[in-house]
Amino acid sequence: MEFLTKEEVAKIFRVNPRTVARWLKEGSLKGYKLGKGRTALLRIPKSEIAKFMSKSKYKK
């Protein structure tokens, strides 16, 4: 399974990384925290990006 960062996902959709963070917070896009606390790394699987694209108005 391949993972992407918020910044990489933002480049794919041509949006600000804050928009990706909002999608994650509202549950439109699913991501995983790797680690604990404030230093945890947030990663989004490529499979979740494909699901998000099929459900949303954003197309590649």
Quote the pLDDT of residue 23: 95
Residue ranges per structural domain of the chain:
3-55
pLDDT in tens, 20-57: 999 999 999 999 998 998 889 999 999 999 899 888 76
CATH of domain 3-55: 1.10.10
Q: Which of 14, 37, 40, 5 is nearest to 29 (CA)?
A: 5
